[in-house]
């Protein structure tokens, strides 16, 4: 099993995706860099901003596949703090988070709610490559093909 790690830090506006020892891709403040077998490779990064209602509808089978994919991730470490603009919602979120058991024997979860407006999260997750390949064949590749077909039909 080759573990795949993903971590993100909203405070630094950075994210990293690593396939241990083979490939790593990092994004920090809109700039990307990749390494293949410890050799740096330039990455052209083009971010396209979408409006909330400009996102095309997604079929139920893709959404179901996405949630089953998230279920198979192993959480190694998560820490962060959240704050919502409404103080009442912050209180509800604080009560909900305090009733959850946030620590487990094999993982470390440290999530808090604050009332100061500070939001950040940092975490690391692992998923086996076999799981990625199974999900890629079942729903990811058909979704990519469908999205490309939608894009081509809009261009014509």
* Secondary structure letter of residue 103 according to DSSP: B
pLDDT in the model for residue 46: 56
Residue of 104, 38, 114 lying closest to 76 (CA atoms): 104
* Domain locations along the chain: 3-155
pLDDT in the model for residue 58: 66
pLDDT in the model for residue 94: 84
* Distance from the Cα of residue 94 to its chain's centroid: 23
pLDDT in the model for residue 49: 52
pLDDT in the model for residue 93: 85
For 13, 27, 123, the CA distances from 31, given in Å and listed in that order, are: 10, 5, 20
Contacts of 47 (CB under 8 A, 6+ apart): 30
User: Which residues face 16 on adjacent strands?
Assistant: 7, 26
Q: Averaged in consecutive runs of 10 residues, what is the pLDDT profile of the chain (156 residues)?
A: 69 77 77 80 59 57 83 80 86 81 62 82 78 86 83 74
pLDDT in the model for residue 51: 46
Contacts of 19 (CB under 8 A, 6+ apart): 2, 4, 129
- Per-residue pLDDT tens over the stretch 77-87: 778 888 888 88
pLDDT in the model for residue 52: 43
* Tokens coding 133: 């390949």
């Amino acid at each position: 099993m080759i573990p795949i790690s993903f971590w993100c830090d909203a405070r630094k506006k950075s994210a990293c995706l690593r396939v241990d020892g083979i490939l790593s891709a990092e994004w920090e403040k809109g700039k990307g860099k990749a390494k293949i077998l410890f050799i740096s490779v330039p990455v052209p990064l083009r971010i396209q901003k979408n409006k909330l209602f400009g996102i095309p509808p997604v079929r139920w089978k893709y959404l179901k596949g996405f949630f089953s994919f998230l279920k198979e991730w192993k959480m190694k470490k998560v820490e962060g703090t959240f704050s919502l603009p409404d103080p009442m919602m912050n209180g509800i979120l604080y009560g909900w988070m305090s009733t959850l058991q946030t620590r487990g024997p094999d993982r470390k979860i440290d999530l808090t709610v604050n009332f100061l407006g500070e939001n950040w999260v940092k975490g690391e997750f692992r998923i086996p490559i076999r799981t990625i390949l199974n999900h890629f064949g079942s729903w990811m590749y058909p979704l990519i093909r469908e999205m490309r077909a939608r894009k081509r039909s809009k261009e014509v």
